Amino acid sequence: MTRRVAVALTAAALGLTAACTAGGDSSGEGPKSDEKQTIEVWHGWSAAHEVKAFQDAVAGFNKVHPNITVKLVSGQTDERITNAIRGGNPPDVVSSFTTDSVGQWCKSGAWQNLAPYIAKSKVDLNIFPQAVRKYTEYQGVRCAMPLLADAYGLYYNKDLMKGEQPPKTMSELTALAKKLTVRDPDGTIKVAGFIPSAQYYEHQVQHLAPPFGVTWLTADGKANFASDPAFQAYLKWNKELLDWYGYDNVKKFLRSLGQEFEAANPFQKGQVAMAIDGEWRTKFIEKEAPKLNYGTAPSPVADDKQSTYGGGFIAGTVIGIPRGAKHAQAAWEFVRYLTTETGALVTLSNGLGNVPSTVPALASPDLKLPPQFQTFLSAFKHPASTTTPPTPNGNDYIVRFQKFVQDEWEPGKVGDLGAALTKLDREVNDALKLAGG
């Protein structure tokens, strides 16, 4: 699976007991990087075109470091990575789609502090945009490097839109969603203009709340759900459009849909007119629905946040060296090559359909991406683009908010919203306290 079911993770699944000080490293251990050796690299990509793209990038590394054989293991999850580190038998390099977990990995020392490697190699971190640098470190400890990035925007089916322009505000999105929806006489949804439910693929809270201008955490790192009115604005928009469809109708529609990362994806099949999704969808459309007549645009924003239009939610794949890696120095050479060499990033970007994560790679003339991809390149560089801040227990606060929305808010089980959000804040803060936050 390409991306990013971060909210399916729990803090418990990522919990690690540090066997060394937080951010500790073992950069002096193992064979020297110029010795003949084999390193094992775990990554999460699994689709055929994704696996090939990674292999192509590794071929470039092998030309520079012929003494280092790279054993690639695809389709790996954070849980498997965590279990391997816990068991004392990790691979040499690990890659994850879950930027939310960086805080936990850095704090526990599960992923090594890369500062000694970076200093020795004289890597200039200014080649990475500021937002990228932020989500690869925690409290001054950089335990991850960015490996491509994700930006989110609006996909729209031009044939279903029938000449309508993509909406720029949430009120425009709501009106157009209603106009484009097609139902059977009993209310069953045949074609959805836009599904607001957090249970629809990439419409999870992490991606649809930011256009309302939410601030996830307070300045001192505490939950901010009850204090920030933007959360209530998001929730009220979500519920009003959901109620227009009918909650039971939406649930029935969701059960009828194909899988997100298969050719039966409902946007690719013309069952959904508009959807928020990541840039990688362009590559899946190219492979699985090449005749689809579609466009992309920035995510619509709240009506009172129109100055932020053009930005979007951004995150990315991260890569690092786990505690206990047996070939740490060779592992760093691999990490450095994939994350800083323009040629490697362009190869990966072209093959995976992801946003390059360095400034030079973003400007490379060798990028071969469809016109619809420009939306995501622009969003990635936009000053209004945001990401979710790291915490010592990973994405626990996102998991809890997602669960609240899909299990309580959307089914209509919440009476007093303010009180419910205050309770959520308390639960998040209690969990943060247990994690040392």
334 in the same domain as 296: no
140 in the same domain as 172: no
Tell me which residue of 406, 2, 383 sits closest to 203, measured CA to CA.
406
200 in the same domain as 264: yes
Q: By the 8 A CB rule, do 355 and 376 touch? A: yes
Distance from C-alpha of 271 to C-alpha of 12, rounded to nearest angstrom: 36
Total tally of structural domains belonging to the chain: 2
Task: Give the range of the structural domain holding residue 79, as residue numbers without chain letter.
Answer: 6-150+314-381
Residue 390 buriedness (CB in 10 A; 0-12 / 13-18 / 19+):
buried
- Judge whether 394 lies within some domain: no
Domain boundary pick from 273, 288, 308: 308
210 in the same domain as 239: yes
- Judge whether 172 lies within some domain: yes
Domain boundary pick from 260, 281, 308: 308
131 in the same domain as 166: no
330 in the same domain as 200: no
Distance from C-alpha of 35 to C-alpha of 24, rounded to nearest angstrom: 24
CATH code where residue 213 lies = 3.40.190.10
363 in the same domain as 297: no
287 in the same domain as 189: yes
Tell me which residue of 78, 74, 69, 67 sits closest to 52, measured CA to CA.
74
For each of the chain's 437 residues, which pLDDT tens digit applies? 334 444 444 444 444 444 343 444 454 568 999 999 999 999 998 888 889 999 999 999 999 999 999 999 999 998 899 899 999 999 999 999 888 788 889 988 999 999 999 999 999 999 998 878 888 998 899 999 999 999 999 999 999 999 999 999 999 999 999 999 999 999 999 999 999 999 999 999 999 999 999 999 999 999 999 999 999 999 999 999 999 999 999 999 999 998 998 999 999 999 999 999 999 999 999 999 999 999 999 999 999 999 999 999 998 899 999 999 999 999 999 999 999 999 999 999 999 889 999 999 999 999 999 999 999 999 998 989 998 988 888 889 999 999 999 999 999 999 999 999 999 999 999 999 998 76
176 in the same domain as 60: no
178 in the same domain as 266: yes
96 in the same domain as 20: yes
